[in-house]
Amino acid sequence: MNKDKRQQIFEILRTDNPNPTTELEYSTPFELLIAVILSAQATDVGVNKATRKLYPVANTPESIYGLGEEGLKEYIKTIGLFNSKAANVIKACKMLIEKHDSEVPDTREELEALPGVGRKTANVVLNTAFNQPTMAVDTHIFRVSNRTGIAKGKDVVEVEKRLLKFVPKEFLMDAHHWLILHGRYTCVARKPRCGSCLIEELCEFKQKTEV
């Protein structure tokens, strides 16, 4: 895909959704961090249902740590992998209290040192909470990037690096959100909704299937 096409694609996505953001509900960087940890292999809708009950009771490292694993599980047991997630969240809270004065760090290295936080989670927090132009490549973004031709790659890290290289700088801050929403609602996995796609004319998947 050439530079002009990418420019047009992101201009269209920006016009359609000028201020994109995560669908996870949060009010502080810490609430976002916990929500993203909980969202692994789970839906944002499911996570929001759980955090709507959890956060009014506990929404700081100290208060969640005070619940303990068993107490936390009562709030998140509707989410997949809740046992391991509860363990990681409690350990992460302990580390935040002891090493970061209960503040969420704003560097990749420090975030990835927290239990339950991988590269994708760190990128979401850096981008959404701290306004850093990172690219958190999940299954949706991986699919959209490869299918459309915006940034093809064999794995998520390769796609991430190519997106950071190829997405025009003016769009980098919001590109993560546009791509994930596009993959979630339009460029879906089994049967992409090409007929209702805003960027259909620029997509190289469509052109390839018509050959």
Structure tokens at 70: 């068993």
- The answer for 123, left when phi > 0, alpha when psi is -120 to 50, beta otherwise, is alpha
- Rounded Cα gap, residues 11 and 135, in angstroms: 18
Return all residues near 119 (Cβ < 8 A) that are at least 6 apart. 108, 112, 156, 157, 160
120 counts as catalytic: yes
Measured CA to CA in angstroms, residue 183 lies from 14, 20, 137, 138, 173 at distances of: 15, 14, 11, 10, 18
CA atoms 94, 37, 134, 163: torsion sign: positive
Q: What is the CA radius of gyration of the chain?
A: 18
Residue among 73, 85, 120, 174 flagged as catalytic = 120
Our answer to whether residue 165 is catalytic in this structure is no
Catalytic residue, chosen from 5, 53, 106, 138, is 138
Helices 82-99 and 29-38 cross at an angle (nearest 10°) of 150
d(CA 21, CA 34): 17
Residues with catalytic annotation?
120, 138
